[in-house]
Amino acid sequence: MNALIGWSGVVGSTIVRQAPPFEQVFRSTTIGGIGREEYDLVVCAGAPGAKWQANREPEADRASLTRLTAALGGLRCRRFVLISTVDVFAAPRGVDESSAIAAASSPYGRHRRELEIFANEQFQSVLIVRLPALVGPGLRKNALFDLLNRHEVERLDPDARYQVYPIDRLWADIQLALAADLHLVHLVAPPLRLGDIAREAFGLQLPAHRGSVPPSYDVRSRHAALLGGADSWPVSREESMRAIVTYARSEPRVGA
């Protein structure tokens, strides 16, 4: 029996569309019943994905993850897949799956690193999937969402560098990682300058920012070739940018 936790979120709903049907699916309001069965595979996309909200309300975020780990405490499964984030790194630059992790600087990253540690201690066979920024249908909040909806774009730093993963690859990449018996994988693409994304995909020119240090991500993977990529990235710059352009052209704007 297989189960999916967090089926109603962006990542979970994507997995529902891509994967064979799960015998059981759970969300935050029903997670309490998951410990009653024994599972072959459990995929957990149950950690809240809104980074801005977790950092603004850290205690509420920690409480949400505490409820999740409490529900998982009695779970029995042969393989456990945890969807996590590259924000577990305090400095997400020049690191890969072999890199040591210091305490993340943000509550969002710290709390999800704690969830990774819990999973590794709780389950015998674990695959942790760390994701960067995502692009695909149904995004609710990130810089791409703001660019699409022209929401406070003046606050976006054109010199910020993000890694953008096309979420339509997710289940296929998870299957490759499971087949290779990986325990940790970074699903990442080369960094893209936000000003270039805004201009090439959304037709916007972002104003220069002065005096602030822009976000900068450069997380790499030791498993790029296994996942069909090259160098240190499973996803190429071209594939990442194509997915962003598709999102910009096809995703409806909020309120439109």
68/133 Cα distance (integer angstroms): 23
Residue ranges of domains in the chain = 2-131
CB 167 within 8 A of CB 18: no
56/61 Cα distance (integer angstroms): 9
Fold of 2-131: Rossmann fold (3.40.50)
H or E, element range at 73: none
208/210 Cα distance (integer angstroms): 7
Residue 204: predicted pLDDT: 97
Residue 140: predicted pLDDT: 82
Residue 30: predicted pLDDT: 87
Percent of all residues in the chain with a pLDDT value above 90, rounded to a whole number: 85
Burial class (CB in 10 A: 0-12, 13-18, 19+), 43: buried
- What's the whole-model pTM score? 0.95
pLDDT 10s per residue in the chain (256 long)? 999 999 989 999 999 999 999 999 998 888 888 877 889 999 999 998 888 899 999 999 999 999 999 999 989 999 999 999 999 999 999 999 999 998 777 999 999 999 999 999 999 999 999 999 999 998 888 999 999 999 999 999 999 999 999 999 999 999 999 999 999 999 999 999 999 999 999 999 999 987 788 999 999 999 999 999 999 999 999 999 999 999 999 999 886 5
Burial class (CB in 10 A: 0-12, 13-18, 19+), 188: buried
Nearest to 134 by CA among 90, 84, 208: 84
Residue 35: predicted pLDDT: 75
75/41 Cα distance (integer angstroms): 11
